[in-house]
Structure 1
Amino acid sequence: MFARFLPMSEGKVPPTNASTPPSVTAKTNKATDPWWLEMVKTLGLAAVFAIGIRTFVAEARYIPTGSMENTLLINDRLIIEKISYYFHAPHRGDIVVFNPTPTLQQAGFHDAFIKRVVGLPGDRVELRAGRVYINNQLLPEPYLAPSTLTSVDTCAGMQPYLAQPQVIPANSYLVLGDNRNNSFDGRCWGVVPRNYIIGRAAIRFWPPDRWGLITDPKAPQR
């Protein structure tokens, strides 16, 4: 009922009784891999893809403590994006996840931290009457609860970094928790080198009633 058309070559009609070319036989044999081998290949590619995404693009994290309340609550689930910092440095006001610095490792900390960037490289940072001053200017912090004071009283057992004014070194950042009364942060142990920063908190996806973008608090850049 249906005519089968074969490809033409140099104007000659191919013989109807031609045997199957060796190359076709080889391809047919190659396509008969066992199902389990195909599954292993598929899972391997998926694993490589997932590792690549987590390493270079984004990863999920959860909040284990109350140091960022009320911006982030315990057990919030976040997407940490990593792409933007390939193109620009962290901004003041960004909420970042970072690996523990050598000082924190010596104090016994090994898990990643999440805090807000307050001081940028070259900034002169100091505390006055419970407020943060950057380059002699009061830093507006709209993300803090009303009447919040920032002091070094939470740094028991160590010499606080912000016990006196500090100039933030090159390629380093001062990070603080939004819950200043319950946050072990840069006031106590110092700055975070840029290469310790994993990425920026971009999206909260859990719980469902609080999902959405983690918005920029509009803190000034300088």
Structure 2
Amino acid sequence: MKKSLSRLLKENKSLLLFVSLMLVFRSAVADWNDVPTGSMKPTIVEGDRILINKMAYDLRLPFSQYSLVKIADPLRNDIVIFESEAAEKRLVKRVIGVPGDTVSLHKNKLLINNKPANYKLISEHDNFILSEEHITGQSHLIRTQLKPGDSRNYQLESFQPTTIPKGFYLVMGDNRDNSADSRVIGLVPRTEIIGRSTMVAFSLNYDNYLIPRSERFLKSM
């Protein structure tokens, strides 16, 4: 039995080495993440598989959250992936407030360090609005409900000024009225953030038999 196992390992040494290196790569360098919900619409949609740069902020010990070397800190507008202890799952959101910022929201309009974000209407649909949000010299699309929905969503439209302490970040989904983000789970500890995403790897249409959406392959975000 031992000889058979030893021979099997020897004959498949190259394959085992490849699998081991791939697991280390996915754990510490880069990976992809399925997006099952619409909390980041229109930037990310259900069925997207996004690329995760796990070395964007830290060089981590493989198969752990332990940071060996800090490379950089998340910036406003970064799309981050984090293992949320509060939500008990991995989440994808956009960084809105960094340590030292004071952020408030009034009827889905942001105010960061006493400077209001600028908004440009892109399109209006039956039940939602697409707008371009400009903060700190960068812009991205957000989606808001045309009319207030249930009480939970209505409550998400505003929050009082919050000053972000050291080691924490305020994150929000681009689908502002349908996102369980810092307005629900609280501020995100720096230690929970595992990487940054800037591109959709590929996408499958959940509503059409998982047919690939070729127009979203390698789409920048």
TM-score for both structures, normalised by structure 2 = 0.69
Tell me which residue corresponds to 2:37. Answer: 65
- The question of whether the paired residues in 1 share the 8 Å contact of 2:81 and 2:91 is answered with yes
Equivalent residue runs for 1:16-95 within 5 Å: 36-86=8-58, 87-95=71-79
Cα distance in 2 between the residues matched to 1:116 and 1:146 = 13
Cα distance in 2 between the residues matched to 1:64 and 1:214 = 19
- The question of whether the paired residues in 2 share the 8 Å contact of 1:123 and 1:167 is answered with yes
Tell me whether 1:143 sits opposite 2:115 in the alignment. Answer: no
Give the secondary structure class of the aligned counterpart of 1:70. Answer: coil
- The question of whether the paired residues in 1 share the 8 Å contact of 2:76 and 2:98 is answered with yes
Q: Return 5+ residue gaps in structure 1 as ranges.
A: 1-33, 216-222
- The question of whether the paired residues in 1 share the 8 Å contact of 2:80 and 2:196 is answered with yes
Tell me which residue corresponds to 1:10. Answer: none
- Higher fraction of strand: 2
Equivalent residue runs for 1:132-211 within 5 Å: 132-140=110-118, 141=133, 142-145=139-142, 154=152, 163-207=159-203, 208-211=214-217
Deviation at 1:197, TM superposition (A): 0.5
CA 1:181/1:55 → structure 2, altered by over 3 Å: closer, same or farther? same
Deviation at 1:175, TM superposition (A): 0.4
- Higher fraction of helix: 1
Deviation at 1:44, TM superposition (A): 2.7
Tell me which residue corresponds to 2:102. Answer: 124
Q: Percent identity?
A: 37
Residues 52-86 of structure 1 show CA distances to partners (whole Å, capped at 9, x for unaligned) of 10121111111100100111010101111111213
CA 1:122/1:37 → structure 2, altered by over 3 Å: closer, same or farther? same
- The question of whether the paired residues in 2 share the 8 Å contact of 1:96 and 1:115 is answered with yes
- The question of whether the paired residues in 1 share the 8 Å contact of 2:81 and 2:90 is answered with yes
Equivalent residue runs for 1:4-19 within 5 Å: none
Q: Return 5+ residue gaps in structure 2 as ranges.
A: 1-5, 59-70, 119-132, 134-138, 204-213
Give the secondary structure class of the aligned counterpart of 1:84. Answer: coil
Considering only aligned residues, what root-mean-square deviation do their CA atoms show, in Å? 2.7
- The question of whether the paired residues in 2 share the 8 Å contact of 1:155 and 1:184 is answered with no
**How many residue pairs end up in the alignment?**
172
Deviation at 1:125, TM superposition (A): 0.7
Q: Find the structure with the greater CA-based Rg.
A: 1
Give the secondary structure class of the aligned counterpart of 2:152. Answer: coil
- The question of whether the paired residues in 2 share the 8 Å contact of 1:98 and 1:112 is answered with yes
Give the secondary structure class of the aligned counterpart of 2:177. Answer: helix
Tell me which residue corresponds to 1:115. Answer: 93
- The question of whether the paired residues in 1 share the 8 Å contact of 2:106 and 2:159 is answered with no
Tell me which residue corresponds to 1:212. Answer: 218
Deviation at 1:147, TM superposition (A): 6.4
Deviation at 1:165, TM superposition (A): 1.2
Amino acid at match of 1:203: M
